[in-house]
């Protein structure tokens, strides 16, 4: 028997085609066909690539694969003493940490995102949704992104964090500018440095504000944890707020946007949901699986020699996990290419798995389960004003979504 071989691909090029942004499905399918373990280069160097459900699900929860490349023998941490503070900020979040730092950071905010705490937000999420729909209902063409999908999660997370209303627009403008960042284009990353600097200043301003004027919000709680001792450094504090603000809406925006788009493209599924609103629970899970608001997780790094599907993975190697592809794997999901709002079971990996499982999953689910039915109640007809392929898809694999989703609407009588 000969050694298992790995095929080399160029991930960046694979996803550069605008058609792949609108629908990465065919690229994912090709990658899965090429084998269980592939190789590529990315911005940070040589990496193994996993595109099938079985291998992605295995490695994503395996503690032998670190999220912090500094914890790998011979691995270079992303941030070192000479790293500009701006970058340090970006890479100090819990997403890129391992135990014990990961636990310590996650515990500090875990409390705010338990299912019970999130259930308490239900009333407020409905209220914001209805206000946004009140404004939208007066327009003949609704841009689902600008009118609902973006402002809802942003307002919710801004209120949780204690961002004053006057600052929210500035945060939003900067975060929107950052969305222009293409993860396939390093030049675009550099172009965003000024936005990042402004955003950092705004975050530090928020911390200073809550030091002076404590409130009943998450930033105040974090500031107090930082002041109480060595549980949280200043960089980690700012990084945490950035993470929550960014992860707290950037992803849910696309869940609501892509989810509604898929309903509009599948009138039979839309009608089923109208006929039986109880299906919203499984419908949102299917939107998470089928539309992949997040296409890949932070790369993992082998702490020790390992093997994946018979392929030796030397310690120190980087592994890229394409959860977006795993979610469309026929081997894990019968009729994987079919959008079925009643699908159950649905073992999608859209929120990750294991120690880094998405902290905000209960909140994201709550927002989608409230916003989408409210939209359907308001409008008896929702039609795309242009072919779906011509929608302005964002140039990202990690975050998949459209910039605008214009719908002609007929308000319910």
Give me the residues that bind ligand HEM (CB under 6 A), please: 67, 94-95, 106, 157, 243-244, 247-248, 251-252, 255, 293-294, 297-298, 350-352, 356, 358-360, 363-364
| Residue placing its CB nearer to ligand HEM in the complex, 35 or 293 | 293
| Residue placing its CB nearer to ligand HEM in the complex, 4 or 70 | 70
CB of 335 to ligand HEM, least distance (A): 22
CB of 78 to ligand HEM, least distance (A): 14
Question: What does the alpha-carbon distance between residue 388 and residue 378 come to, in Å, rounded to a whole number?
Answer: 23
Supply 270's token pair.
Answer: 């839309």
Which of helix, strand or coil describes residue 393? strand
CB of 139 to ligand HEM, least distance (A): 26
CB of 140 to ligand HEM, least distance (A): 29
Render the burial of 303-321: b for 16+ CB within 10 Å, e for the rest.
beebebeebebeebbbbbb
Which ranges constitute the DSSP H helices of 266-379?
Answer: 267-275, 280-291, 323-326, 361-378
Query: Which residue is at the shortest CB distance from ligand HEM?
Result: 360
Question: What does the alpha-carbon distance between residue 159 and residue 153 come to, in Å, rounded to a whole number?
Answer: 10
Q: Which of 385, 387, 375, 384 is nearest to 412 (CA)?
A: 375
CB of 353 to ligand HEM, least distance (A): 8
Neighbouring-strand partners of residue 76: none
| Residue placing its CB nearer to ligand HEM in the complex, 219 or 247 | 247
CB of 291 to ligand HEM, least distance (A): 10
| Residue placing its CB nearer to ligand HEM in the complex, 119 or 190 | 119
| Residue placing its CB nearer to ligand HEM in the complex, 151 or 352 | 352
| Residue placing its CB nearer to ligand HEM in the complex, 294 or 313 | 294
Decide: 222 and 237 in contact? Cβ < 8 Å: yes
HSE (side-chain half, CA atoms, 13 Å) at 176: 14
Write out the E strands in 218-339.
300-302, 306-308, 311-313, 318-321
């Amino acid at each position: 028997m000969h050694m298992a071989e790995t095929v080399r691909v160029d991930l960046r090029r694979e996803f550069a085609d605008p058609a792949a942004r609108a629908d990465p499905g065919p690229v994912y399918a090709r990658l899965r066909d090429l084998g269980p373990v592939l190789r590529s280069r990315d911005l940070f160097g040589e990496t193994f690539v996993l595109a099938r459900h079985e291998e992605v699900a295995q490695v994503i929860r395996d503690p032998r694969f670190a999220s912090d490349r500094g914890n790998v023998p011979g691995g270079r941490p992303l941030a070192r003493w000479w790293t500009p503070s701006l970058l340090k900020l970006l890479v100090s979040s819990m997403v890129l940490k391992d135990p014990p730092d990961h636990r310590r950071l996650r515990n500090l905010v875990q409390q705010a995102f338990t299912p019970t705490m999130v259930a308490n937000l239900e009333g407020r999420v409905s209220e914001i949704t209805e206000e946004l729909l009140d404004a939208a209902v007066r327009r003949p063409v609704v841009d689902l992104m600008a009118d609902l999908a973006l402002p809802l999660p942003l307002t919710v997370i801004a209120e949780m964090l204690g961002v004053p209303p006057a600052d929210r627009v500035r945060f939003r403008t900067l975060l929107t500018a950052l969305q222009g960042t293409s993860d396939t284009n390093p030049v675009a990353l550099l172009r965003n440095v000024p936005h990042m600097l402004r955003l950092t200043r705004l975050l530090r301003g928020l911390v200073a504000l809550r030091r002076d004027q404590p409130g009943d919000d998450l930033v105040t709680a974090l500031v107090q944890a930082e002041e109480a001792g060595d549980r949280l450094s200043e960089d980690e504090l700012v990084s945490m707020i950035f993470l929550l603000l960014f992860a707290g809406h950037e992803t849910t925006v696309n869940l609501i946007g892509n989810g509604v788009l898929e309903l509009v493209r599948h009138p039979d599924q839309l009608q089923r949901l109208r006929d039986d609103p109880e299906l919203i629970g499984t419908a949102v899970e299917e939107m998470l699986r089928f539309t992949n608001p997040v296409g890949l997780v932070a790369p993992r790094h082998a702490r020790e020699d390992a093997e994946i599907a018979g392929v030796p993975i030397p310690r120190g190697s980087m592994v890229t996990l394409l959860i977006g592809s795993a979610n469309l794997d026929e081997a894990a999901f019968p009729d994987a290419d079919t959008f079925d709002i009643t699908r159950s079971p649905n073992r999608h990996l859209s929120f990750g798995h294991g120690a880094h499982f998405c902290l905000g999953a209960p909140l994201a689910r709550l927002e989608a389960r409230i916003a989408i039915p409210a939209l359907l109640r308001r409008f008896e007809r929702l039609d795309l004003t242009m072919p779906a392929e011509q929608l302005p898809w964002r140039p990202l694999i990690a975050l998949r979504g459209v910039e605008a989703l214009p719908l002609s609407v007929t308000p319910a009588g």
